[in-house]
Amino acid sequence: MTTSPKIAKALLYLLSLLPLRANLKLGAVVGHLCYLLPNRHSRTIEHNLALCYPDMDDQERRQLLRNNLAETGKNLTELGPFWCWDKNKVTSLVCSQSGTEHLTRALSQNKGVIIAAPHTGAWELIGLKFTADRPMHFLYRPGRKSTFDSLIINARERFGGKCYPITRRGLSALVRALKRGEVIGILPDQEPADEHGVFAPFFGHPAYTMTFVSNLAQKTGAPIVFAAMQRQQDNAGYHLHFFPSDEALVSTNPLTAASALNHHVEQCIAVAPDQYMWNYKRFKKTPPGSEKRYQ
């Protein structure tokens, strides 16, 4: 049984009627139900945690799995407020920030800025927060169910952002935006298409990693700033973290640059490991001759 865009919009609206704390508590309940019922997401999370945190004992890893599913549930329910509340109400959800000096320094260079925000915490809120203050441009990967694309794009563009599909035209639009001194947003932990990445260490294991971010920075001279939107423990709001990038990220050696990218992604994850999207099959593509990571 599939959910139509109309039903999805109705569900989002109903979720937007809840105060944030109640909304996130509901999300945690959804996640807890997923923990109790066998499902492929739990199996993928278990596998990823075993790979990335080999020194954890079984009890610690099980607790992290449970917490992560609760945070995954919040990822779903919080879309109601994010995509339905007005601009002032949405931006007020960001209660505190750290590392803003890195963003200020990057903006002052007038070369545009690349915001690299991994799938950790409330990453959807980062774009809305930025576009409330300035032009921002994003790439998106068209979904298998294209009927939902317009719903997602309208939500992400409603404060003035601009979304482009991952095509040659979309990539050119990002380059032009940077040359105008504007901000673009990239999800740096997505597995790229064939011949658009290299295998680089991610938590000590080879992961097929995009070279697009470093190539874009080399081409335009735009600085890169990493960002992570952390849910507060009391479910009352969010904390926005900014991190600087090191010079290795713009190395002309693809492996060096990709390794630096993954290091920065790990830095963002370390803010709140239970809030990362561990149900993503990050190690799906393997080096030639290696065993498949997932069944």
pLDDT at 238: 98
Q: List the one residue out of 120, 125, 36 whose CA is nearest residue 71.
A: 120
pLDDT over threshold 50, residue 1: no
Please state, in angstroms and as integers, the Cα–Cα distance from residue 183 to each residue in 112, 127, 155, 233, following that order. Answer: 5, 10, 18, 30
Do the domain assignments include residue 288? no
- Band of residue 270 on the pLDDT scale cut at 50, 70, 90: very high
Upper half-sphere CA count for residue 234 (Cβ side, 13 Å): 5
Dist. CA 114–CA 251, nearest whole Å: 16
Do the domain assignments include residue 294? no
**Tens digits of per-residue pLDDT, 155-167?**
999 999 999 988 8
Max distance between CA atoms of the chain, in angstroms, equals: 53
Show the beta-strand stretches assigned E in 42-196: 94-98, 113-116, 136-140, 162-165, 183-186
Dist. CA 153–CA 64, nearest whole Å: 32
Do the domain assignments include residue 281? no
pTM of the shown model: 0.94
Do the domain assignments include residue 292? no
Do the domain assignments include residue 293? no
- Over the chain, what is the mean pLDDT? 94
Do the domain assignments include residue 284? no
Domain count for the chain, please give it: 1
pLDDT over threshold 90, residue 278: yes
Do the domain assignments include residue 260? yes
Q: Which residue range(s) make up the domain with 142?
A: 5-275
